[in-house]
Each structure stands twice: as structure tokens, then as C-alpha cells.
A and B are shown apart, each in its own frame.
Chain A
Amino acid sequence: MSKIVVRDLTKRFGDLLVIKDLSFDVKERELLCMVGPSGCGKSTILRILVGLDTDYEGEVMIDDEPLTGHNPKIGLVFQEHALFMWRTVLGNVEFGLEVKGVDKKRRREISMDAIRMVGLEGFENCYPHELSGGMKQRAALARVLVNDPEILLMDEPFAAVDAQTRNILQEELIDLWHRTGNTILFVTHSIDEAVYLGDRIIVLDRRPTRVRATFDNTIPRPRDRTSAPCVELRRKILGVLKEIRAGVKEDFTTFK
């Protein structure tokens, strides 16, 4: 069953046509990775899905129901700098529950669970400026998890952390996804990341954006980044991105 259905999505910013007739699905419990040239509209797609941008044409369905504003089933992890600087880690994580009016004791329990889940125990009373980049992203993830979202949208969440931390965060995300059974739409500009994480990888074209290619990724987990299938898949995706850069126009194809 499809958790997210996008049909003929078209989006303009004034005269700038960013997305044209974009269609794709995200299946229930799938981890879908989305790559594409910078500025092609990846963040815009996530902003539309999470209800921050309602000015578009086309159809967007969540659980077979049309999107109407913000849907509490959906959580978004921003690229960076999205923690509330004036709140501690715990304060940030509790935010969603506080807004919902959950009582203090219950709030603390759920939040501490989420903090443990992302491995930030012991840092709950730190302010964001006291945390490393990787810890900030963990906190941002925990802040979304307390709302118990069925769908997680992640906008290049690990782009700003160093390579080693990024690999650890990716492993942790897979663990978390296995435990929670979320549907995840993960935007990245790293092919390595997409191949390591994704059940499927969608490559977006340049503006006006459509799906340029889709790759199924059945490489068994835990994945070895240096294994032949991983290298091969990376090579294929890189090929498509190179074509896009070179401006070769081609009908969209599905690789198996």
C-alpha cells in the first residue's frame, strides 16, 4: 500500500517553474531516498508534504486522503540549525508534547525515551550551542519522534556532520527505522548515503523537476559500502546524475 502518493505535482515560485508534473509513491514502511541536483526542488517537495507550502497544483495523498495543511502523522527533520536555541535538549524534545498539552510527568517520560533512543542520554540538560553537529541532529530527530509520526521526512539531515559521524548516524537511523516501522522519505545529495540507506532511490531531474530514474535497492542489510553491488549501484546513479549535469534529455526510465 502506498503511504504517500504524489500525482502531477507542479510548483511555481512566481515565474520560476520548479516542479512540473512530478509523480511518485512512497510505500508503507519504505525507506525512500531522493537525490537530485541542488536547487531542483527537493526541499520544496518536503515542505509541501509537511504542509508548510500549500500553493501548488496536482494531487498529494497521505494514506489515500488528500493533504490538508499540516498532518500530525508527518514529522520533518530540517537540514540544520533547526533546534530552538533557547531550550535545552530536553526542552526541545518535549516541545511537541507541550504544545499538545500532555502533562509534565508523561511528557518527561516520553521525551527521555526518545532521547535514549537517539543516544543522547546524559546530554538532556545541554543547550544546542553546547552540542556537536551530530548531537544536534540526534536531538532534532528525537524532537520529531516524540510526536510518534508515521512518516518521517528528512531533508539532508546529515549533510553538515563529518563523514565518520555521518556513517554512525546512518546505521542508527536504520536501527531506529527497524524498531519503529516508520515510512521514511530521505533527501540527500550523497549517493553513498542513498545507496546505504534506501530501499529505493529516486533521482530527480533539473528544474522543472520530474523523476529522472528510479532504482530498486535490494542489497541485503547490513550493507557493506565497499561491496560490489553497492559500488555498482553508486556507479549507475552517478551515471544518471552526470547525464543530468551534461543536460542530456531522456525519457524517464526505471532500472531494475
Chain B
Amino acid sequence: MRRKTLNIIGLLLFFLLWQLIPMVGLVNPDYLPPFSDAIMKIPTEIGKGTLQAALLESLLHYAIGFGGALLLAIPLGVAMGRFRVIESLLYPVEEMVRPIPPIAWIPVAIIWFGYTPWAAGFIIFIGAFFPTLINTYDGVRGVSRTDIEAAITLGVRDELTMIRKIVLPASLPNIFTGVRVSNAAAWMCLVAGEMFGAGGGMGLELTLSRNYMDMARIFAYMLILGVIGLSSDIGFRRYESKVLRWRKGVVA
């Protein structure tokens, strides 16, 4: 496929530039080590076992924060979209808490949870919670009246069946959008939280590398974070287009 080939060529060109700029002396390699130096750090880090350990810790934080956010945000978004009372009660609170940058919660998290995985998980939770909540809520409010009424005339009597069979599937495109935005926010908050020492992980390794003044190591860990972010987004998109085959313009 043409597009995929170009995608790969683009990436290769980027790595090539990264390699050449410090090599020809355009910038000092002490500040920007060439691509090859960063890549060579990866086997070393694996050899020492640090990379795997950091990755596992980060994945634990991600699972706590991101998983918790989805588990809470989706039902709450549905409830806000379906029930006036809940909407009126929660909307102002939500609108006030949402603009606070998740990073601002780092001191709170560390005091509440100490230097544990729960601290990092909490910060990720804050970052991932709102995008999914808002998009779910929007999606649920946007479910067409005709769909709801058709379901009633076809025999749906209770709210739970209505949510399961109509509201959730109809708002799934919005929920997916929310989940992808949440995923990006989760990784951002993950690194920020960990850099402050909340529970170890990839972010902490970045801080440690800075202490060692090991630029190649910094870039090695950043590269890995980039790859994780990219592949998780591709993963979500693939799953999304499989589940949402029914949408117009999406070819099965």
C-alpha cells in the first residue's frame, strides 16, 4: 500500500536526520546523541533488567489509572446522559474539576498514597477520566429519539435493557473517541507522575538518567514511550473500526 510505504519512509527519514544532525556536528552530541546511541542503550538496559522492570511498573500504573477511569467514566457518562437529576447535580462539579490540569494533582496523590503505584495510578485516573466521561455523556445525549421510541414500540420496558441494547451501542463511536483521548492523556500523566517519584516506572528512569547526565539513556526511554503511545493508539483504532463496521463510510 502506498500510504503505508510513505509512513515508513517518513519514519526512516526522521531517524536518519536524528542520526546525521549530531554526527556532522550541527548540534553537540552531548545534548542530542545520535539515534544509534539511543538504540544501543536498549539492549544494555534490557541486559541490566531495568527496562523490563520499569515497563512493568508503568503498565501496572496504567492499568490502575486507565482501567479505573473507564470503569467509572462510562457508567457515569451514561447516567448523566440519561437522567436529568444526575446531570444537573454532577455537571457543575465536573465542569469545575475538569479544567484543573491533572499534573496539579501530583502533590495530592503523593501525600494521599505515598510513593506507591496507587499515587501514579491516581494521577493517570484524573487525566483519563474526563475525556471518556465527556464523550460518553455527549454520545448518550445524542442518541436519536426515534431509536429510543422504536425500541419502546418493539417492547423495551426497562431502562437497563434500553441502555444495553440501544444507548450503549448507539453512542459507541463517541465512547471510543473518548477512550482514545483518555489513552493519550493517561500516558502523559503516567510519565509526569512517575517523574515525581510516584511509584517508579518509565518516568522515574527518565529522572534518574538526568541525574546520571546520560542523554542517550533519556532518549532511549523516550523512544520507547513514543512507540508504546503509537502502538496503543493503532490498537484502539483497529479495534474500533472492527466494532464500528456499521458506520457509514467505514468499509467492512
- Chain A residues close to B by CB (< 8 Å): 47, 50-52, 70, 72, 74-76, 78, 81-82, 84-88, 95-96, 98-100, 127-129, 143-144, 147
> A86-B169, A99-B165 in contact; A70/B152 too (CB < 8 A)?
yes
Partner of A100, one of B155, B170, B172, B247: B155
Partner of A84, one of B150, B152, B161: B150
Q: Is the interface of B mostly helix, strand, loop or mixed?
A: helix
| Residue B149 CB within 8 A of the other chain | yes
A82 pairs with B165, CB closer than 8 A: no
Partner of B246, one of A75, A76, A129: A129
Q: What is the bound-complex CA distance between A222 and B103, given in angstroms?
A: 75
Q: What is the bound-complex CA distance between A75 and B151, given in angstroms?
A: 11
A147 pairs with B246, CB closer than 8 A: no
- Chain B residues close to A by CB (< 8 Å): 144, 146-147, 149-156, 161, 165-166, 169-170, 172, 244-248
Contacts of B149 in A (CB 8 A): 47, 52, 78
Contacts of A50 in B (CB 8 A): 153
Contacts of B146 in A (CB 8 A): 78, 81-82
Contacts of B166 in A (CB 8 A): 84
- Having A52-B152, A82-B150, A95-B165, one finds 12 other A-B pairs with CB under 8 Å, namely A51-B152, A70-B152, A78-B149, A81-B144, A82-B146, A82-B147, A85-B170, A86-B244, A86-B246, A99-B156, A128-B246, A147-B155
Give chain A nearest CB distance to B104 CB in angstroms.
39
Partner of B172, one of A86, A128, A143: A86
List 19 interface pairs A-B (beta carbons < 8 Å), by A numbering.
A50-B153, A51-B153, A52-B149, A72-B155, A74-B153, A75-B153, A76-B150, A76-B153, A78-B146, A82-B150, A84-B147, A84-B169, A84-B170, A86-B169, A86-B172, A87-B246, A129-B248, A147-B154, A147-B155
Q: Kindly report which residue of chain A lies nearest to residue B250, judged by CB atoms.
A: A129
Give chain B nearest CB distance to A89 CB in angstroms.
11
